[in-house]
Amino acid sequence: MKKLLVANRGEIAIRVMQTAKKMGIKTVAVFSEADRNSPHVKYADQAVCIGPAPSNESYLRGDKIIEVSKELNVDAIHPGYGFLSENADFAELCEANDIIFIGPRSKAIRVMGSKLAAKETVKAYDIPMVPGTDEAITDIPEAKTIAKDIGFPILIKASAGGGGKGMRIVENETEFESQMDRAISEAKNAFGDGSVFIEKYVASPRHIEIQVMADMHGNVIHLFERECSVQRRHQKVVEEAPSAVLTPELRAKMGQAAINVARSCDYIGAGTVEFLLDENLNFYFLEMNTRLQVEHPVSEWIAGVDLVELQIKVARGEHLNLKQEDLKINGHALELRVYAEDPMNDFLPSVGNLEVYLLPEGENIRVDNGFEQGMDIPIYYDPMLSKLITYGKTREEAIELMIEAIDNYHIEGVQTTLSFGRFVCEHDAFRSGNFDTHFVKKYYSPSLLQDQETLEAEIAAKIALKHFLKEQKVLKVPS
Ligand code: MV4
């Protein structure tokens, strides 16, 4: 593999190219007209414009990207996350054109893209699943009987959904039919596939996911868990590894379940198996994400691996040289997603110019960043600016360092989620480790951020006054 094209933008494009460079592989960036001056374009050895700003005319144009790859003699394509990363047709197109797709084979992407096909596939592998139906619902009265057996509340999920899209809670029997009708028509509209199924609703779960890595020779390992319960409307905000609540025994069990999920679909490369964990620490398989995830750095830090390097190696056909029994968790890592969104105003995207943009630096701080001072934030894409990652020997150390790093991250020109990250890190529920997926809904309101800012301003004013008075005294003494 001499030349790698990264079919993505922003921080992840740079992140992937960093490892490619380290491995002596030439890099090709693709970019839209909106990204002409973006850091990922400058960072690459070669860069090609693939179309206008809207992603369906640029970053989603698989055909264009293949064309560029052939022209430039590209050996492999890394899709990053989002865009084409979980597009089975694109993986197939790469396969058909003899270009290595850095990810699993198209078949695994397709199976895991359908929640029902995924359930069917893992069935023989003894994976715990939430009680529910495992086939698309065609007969609503029959489904109602099943729902009554399971017990309300239940959740209707779209098979083609995922990441929270196409879900509906049904609290009781009387609303079952109407909710079912709506769910089916919504699924048809959103995904072109009206298949839905039902599950018992797990009321206050944690979201725990396991990082897996598989080679072409049947070796599959897991790289422990990530705790991703701090999320807002299915958008993760803070992630960490390891989870504050897993015991070594539970970790081993969930890790083995994740490995089995990967085996069930002949998985190759980096993947993530999502689980719900209930209050009694029962875990249930939800879905598998067949890509490198945004939050992969926290796993890299505690496991001491470079996941992109492993992805590239297994894509070249190499054997995983890591054995499960040799892997161990070292310390604790925390990630805050820094979005150009206004936490005071319902997290509305806050686009504009990055008038000031200064990153925190230091030992145990990593910033995976895609922006620089003076840039405009394009309106066309996800407004994530960077990921701020901190590490500590203990969870407390990682949290303290995160607060310090947030304070040393200077952004002016747009609103960001930095202040929100500080709120999370200072919250008792977060610090105690006793929280679930309802954390944000339960504890956050903009007024708290306001209060916090006022409090900080007051403290700063007090300190300033103290210094002022001290100086006054110093001045007074000699006289
Ligand atoms: C659930 C659930 C409760 N019970 N399934 C949301 C994302 C998708 N991967 C599955 N999700 C959920 N499935 C059952 N049977 C609650 C969620 C859920 C959730 C899961 C993970 C992280 C955040 C979440 C927020 C709301 C709901």
Query: In whole angstroms, what is the distance from residue 131 CA to residue 133 CA?
Result: 7
Pocket test residue of 155, 168, 275 for ligand 1, highest count of atoms within 8 A of CB: 155
pLDDT of residue 3: 98
The reply to whether ligand 1 has any atom less than 6 angstroms from the CB of 289 is: no
User: Ligand 1: distance of its center to the CA of 164 in Å?
Assistant: 6
Q: State the residue for tokens 């083609």.
A: 160
> Residue 44: how many CA atoms within 13 Å on its side-chain side?
28
Question: Residue 166 C-alpha to ligand 1 middle, in angstroms?
Answer: 11
- Report CA(238)–ligand 1 centroid distance (Å): 16
What CATH topology corresponds to 206-443?
A: D-amino Acid Aminotransferase; Chain A, domain 1 (3.30.470)
Which regions of the chain carry the CATH code 3.30.1490.20? Answer: 131-200
100 lines ligand 1 (CB under 6 A): no
Residue 291 designated active-site: yes
Q: Is the CB of 155 under 6 A from ligand 1?
A: yes
Classified by CATH at the fold level, domain 3-102 comes out as Rossmann fold (3.40.50)
Confidence (pTM): 0.94
pLDDT at 281 (0 to 100): 97
Predicted confidence (pLDDT) per residue in 279-330, tens digit: 999 999 999 999 999 999 999 999 999 999 999 999 999 999 999 999 999 9
Question: Distance from the CA of 301 to the center of ligand 1, in angstroms?
Answer: 26
- d(CA 251, CA 228) in angstroms, rounded, equals 15
402 in helix, strand or coil? helix
Helix crossing, 115-122 with 248-264: angle to 10°? 110
Quick one: CATH architecture of 131-200?
2-Layer Sandwich (3.30)
Place of tokens 């990055």: 354
The dihedral formed by the CA atoms of 78, 163, 165 and 154, expressed in degrees to the nearest 10: 150
Residue stretches of the chain with pLDDT short of 70: 473-479
| Start and end residues for every CATH 3.30.470.20 domain found in the chain | 206-443
What is the pLDDT at residue 479?
43
Nearest CA to 42 out of 10, 83, 66, 67 is that of 10
Q: Are 254 and 332 in contact (CB under 8 A)?
A: no
Q: Residue of the nearest CA to atom 11 in ligand 1? A: 164
- Residue range 119-178, pLDDT digits in tens: 999 999 999 999 999 899 988 899 999 999 999 999 999 998 877 777 899 999 999 999
Q: In the chain, where does the domain assigned CATH 3.40.50.20 lie? A: 3-102
Q: How many helices (H) and strands (E) does the chain have?
A: 16, 20
